[in-house]
Chains A and B, each alone.
Chain A
């Protein structure tokens, strides 16, 4: 039996995982990253439009700061987020973007003087200040009150991933590529590594570690139509679920991005709309102002996707052989702007559609895009129910995004969570809880259990893994999508349950050494179905509409009954459904009590504690002459939750004497 020992085992080589590993390495620990693919191929590279950080360099960002970013993020989440985590995030985001600048990311920069931009379909002139020249530029994104999204043309995730990937190499972090974790190794309530399959040789290897970090990204491939890379199959969530004790939070909170290219689902960035692009229907009519007069195309993603689906339902979609779609029109931005700031979009249109977006409209349709839920952790990234297990990035639910994530907050979250969780992982390893004492027999048993499961698949039953996977994806796209209702969801749960039972009878024909892609599909689809059931069961149980979770039979947000986080566990491996429990959010400690988001429906049911808390907050704001930091501290202290190195205030141009 091959055993690899390390201090910190990071499962997932995207931005979050790499940044955690660098953080641990800098603290003198051995950190090792497992990755399905060469790490620079990770889905982080697909983040196009940018990363939110309240730098306020551009003239349209003036007045921006952590407070504004905080408010936008909480409203975007439809009050589902953990507000202390949001505060930790918005204070760290400027530090993260500046660290990346120092690591070589070629952020787009502010140019002094006049430039023409398109805002709300109108061509206007902005004048950038002399002082801002050469500092990081920001563009507009949905659901934000200031231009806050820092960007590298529209290859932001790529540039970030390459800088961080190269830093991981510079720091001597080993990345074991083409390795897939199949199970976490548990000793009672302590996680001590993972059983891993080598995807090139097929061999099983045990990795024993003091701390284990799951940073495996999202689960988009549970859906037939998704912007996600083919490796985003929710395997990190499944690892956690299979322990029986770790909970997944809010798995029903699934984001649909407004502008997936139709029908392939390939993403075109929100930056298209942020930079002035418009949505049009079959008749060429710009329809978003009819639904959302205030934010129009730049309401939050859940709202825009819902309005698009609604407009298509009313018969205004453009017809095609693959079904109806809408149009994204960026022609008015002009070729110069597209060539400089929307290069990937231009390439994607050229190669996949044969279209020049400077001249023709882009066919778009909402597509699954992001998993707000994930492995439930505390604000330090650690799982409360399994010591030594941490999670960061899209795989995690420390709960930055609640029920809807803002554009530009995910790629920001990867590096911010990496910075924060990396420190706490190091603290854990260097503290009294960091020691492990793992008998090799325990490790052997864990490996043997996985080997037995793989052996049972080879030459097993008569079910086809591919057929089951396609059926699951179709159920998720058809019945657990943008519009949900109780009847459809109940059918979805039944169908997924039947598929789960069938997946236990999958037979794999290919055998022998090597990658064996047929076997990979087989063991993954068994795991994917459990994650899919957490989404569908959570959605069926949640009888309200919040953020991206929209129930046509319960169209109002119901704070009185549902200001709660769903926790899904799978304690009995033979069960066919998860166990659901709920964790209430405390209105009495919120810095921003629940209210209207400023876009979308205005009809929520109030939580009984909201009026009292709102009065307290308002009284504090008006009665006392406090600086904004002191006021914030009075309302909801959070800095003690951050590692000491990340607690400082952030300097901005506007704070300096002009």
Chain B
């Protein structure tokens, strides 16, 4: 058909384990189809043109956060990015700030686990004894909804990749880390106080390292209110540390 578009995918290629590999961009041509996402384009490319191309997709529905990559200069979830929204030349780079596995595949898992361990980013129950046969504790419905709002983070790494501080400080916890502290701080089931959270994020690797560039907020695929949460946390931490 005459109205189908040929798109040029300029894809970052590098295999760090191969001493002969030199990082470069490789260009592929793909015929655009209606409703084509970058997931479909890359999958077709691997099935038909280059089976060696490495990239990560899991849910391909914008839910799991596996496929963060830099699409024409901006961190995005590739699986739900429609090619029709982009120009005919599309440059795909792996997310910075994470270890490169190969091509577009990066190791977000190690980063996220280390951050979670450092921030002890799990619920610390106020009452650790629990009888599972008893009726659950109550919670205000509105509060449950507000906690879920912050719980929607999918640890895709887009906020870290877009963050100026994270590029300079390896130990910076990023918006993803601060959002987790905000989430557990909001949860009455968590026993920790602001003084406890201050020990975790009250330094330059936490809230006081943020330069307020707010790219994290702009690129978050889940549209989490990161700007508000960081600002609010910073005020609370300033108070807790005083």
A343, chain B: closest CB distance, angstroms? 8
**Chain A 80-111 per-residue mask, 1 if CB under 8 angstroms from chain B, else 0:** 00000000000000110111011110111111
**A352-B37 CB under 8 A given contacts A107-B144, A109-B144:** yes
Residue B204 interfacial (CB < 8 Å): no
B148:A106 contact, CB within 8 angstroms: yes
Q: From A228, which residue of chain B is reached at the shortest CB distance?
A: B59
Q: Are B136 and A135 in contact (CB under 8 A)?
A: yes
Q: Are B141 and A111 in contact (CB under 8 A)?
A: yes
Contact B145 A340 (CB under 8 A): yes
Q: Which of A164-172, A276-284, A570-578, A612-620 contacts B (4 or more CB under 8 A)?
A: A164-172
Is A102 touching B189 in the complex (CB atoms < 8 A)?
A: yes
Residues of B within 8 A of A229 (CB): 58-60, 64
Residue B22 at the chain A interface, CB threshold 8 Å? no
Known contacts A38-B112, A109-B141, A134-B141; is A46 also within 8 Å of B61 by CB?
Answer: yes
Q: Which of B63, B65, B125, B154 has the most CB of A within 10 A?
A: B63
Q: Note all chain A residues with C-beta closer than 8 A to B109.
A: 37-39, 175, 177-178
CA distance A110 to B80 in the complex (A): 33
The verdict on B240 contacting chain A, using a C-beta distance below 8 Å, is no
B140 to chain A, nearest CB (A): 6
C-alpha gap A41/B138 in the complex (Å): 30
Asked if residues B64 and A513 are in contact (CB atoms below 8 Å), the reply is no
Inter-subunit contact B187/A104 (CB<8 Å): yes
User: Chain B 180-221, CB within 8 Å of chain A: the 1/0 string?
Assistant: 000010010110000000000000000000000000000000
Asked whether A153 and B189 contact (CB < 8 A) given A41-B65, A517-B52, the answer is: no
Complex: A104 Cα to B136 Cα, angstroms: 12
| Residues of the B chain whose Cβ atoms lie less than 8 Å from the Cβ of A354 | 82
Q: Which of A369-377, A595-603, A650-658 sits within the interface?
A: A650-658
- B51, A37: Cβ atoms closer than 8 Å: no
User: Which residues of A lie under 8 Å from residue B3 when comparing CB positions?
Assistant: none
- A95/B132 contact (C-beta < 8 A), A106-B148, A170-B122 known: yes
> Which chain B residue lies CB-closest to A512?
B18
Least CB distance from B28 to A in Å reads 15
CB distance from A516 to the nearest CB of B (A): 7
Q: How many inter-chain residue pairs (CB < 8 Å) link A and B?
A: 214
Chain B: CB-nearest residue to A264: B35
A40 to B64, CA, bound (A): 7
In whole angstroms, how far apart are the Cα atoms of A166 and B147 in the complex? Answer: 16
Kindly list chain A residues whose C-beta atoms are within 8 Å of the C-beta of B121. 166
Q: Is A348 on the interface with B (CB-CB < 8 A)? A: yes
| Chain B interface helix/strand/loop/mixed | loop
A169 touches B116 (CB 8 A): yes
Which residues from A are CB-within-8-Å of B147? 106
Size bracket, chain B contacts:
35 or more
Whether the Cβ atoms of A510 and B51 lie closer than 8 Å is yes
Q: Which of B68-122 contact A (CB under 8 A)?
A: 80, 82, 101-102, 105, 107-110, 112-113, 116-117, 120-122
Whole-angstrom distance between the Cβ of B114 and the nearest chain A Cβ? 10
Within residues 37 to 71 of chain B, which ones have a CB less than 8 A from any CB in chain A?
37, 46-48, 51-54, 56-66
Per the 8 Å Cβ criterion, residues 150-174 of B in contact with A are: 151-152, 154-155
B15 at the interface (CB under 8 A from A): yes
Q: Is A230 an interface residue (CB 8 A)?
A: yes
Listed residue (A55, A108, A153, A200) with the most chain B CB atoms within 10 angstroms of its CB: A200
A63, CB-defined interface residue at 8 Å: no
With a cutoff of 8 Å between Cβ atoms, the chain B residues found around residue A521 in the complex are 51
Query: When chains A and B are docked, how far (Å) is the Cα of A37 from the Cα of B107?
Result: 10
Contacts of A37 in B (CB 8 A): 56, 58, 64, 66, 109
CA distance A319 to B46 in the complex (A): 31
Is B137 an interface position by the 8 A CB rule?
A: yes
> What's the Cα separation between A148 and B200 when bound, in Å?
39
Q: In chain A between 139 and 179, which residues have their CB closer than 8 angstroms to a CB of chain B?
A: 152-153, 155, 158-159, 162-163, 166-167, 169-170, 175, 177-178
Q: Kindly state the separation between the CA atoms of A69 and B112 in the bound complex, as whole angstroms.
A: 38
Residues of chain A touching chain B, judged by Cβ–Cβ distance below 8 Å, are: 37-43, 45-46, 55, 94-95, 97-99, 101-104, 106-111, 133-137, 152-153, 155, 158-159, 162-163, 166-167, 169-170, 175, 177-178, 200-202, 229-231, 263-264, 266-267, 321, 340, 343-344, 347-348, 351-354, 465-466, 470, 508-510, 512-518, 521, 646, 648-653, 656
What would be 27 A-B contacts, judged by CB atoms less than 8 Å apart? A38-B113, A40-B155, A43-B59, A45-B154, A98-B136, A102-B125, A104-B189, A106-B145, A133-B138, A137-B141, A158-B154, A159-B151, A169-B122, A177-B109, A231-B58, A266-B61, A347-B62, A348-B62, A351-B62, A352-B37, A354-B82, A513-B15, A515-B101, A516-B52, A518-B51, A646-B132, A648-B133
Q: What 5 A-B pairs have minimum CB-CB distances, sorted nearest first? A: A134-B138, A38-B109, A104-B123, A166-B122, A518-B51
A-B contacts besides A163-B122, A263-B35, 13 pairs, CB < 8 Å: A38-B109, A107-B144, A109-B138, A135-B138, A158-B154, A163-B123, A166-B123, A470-B47, A514-B101, A515-B102, A518-B52, A649-B133, A656-B135
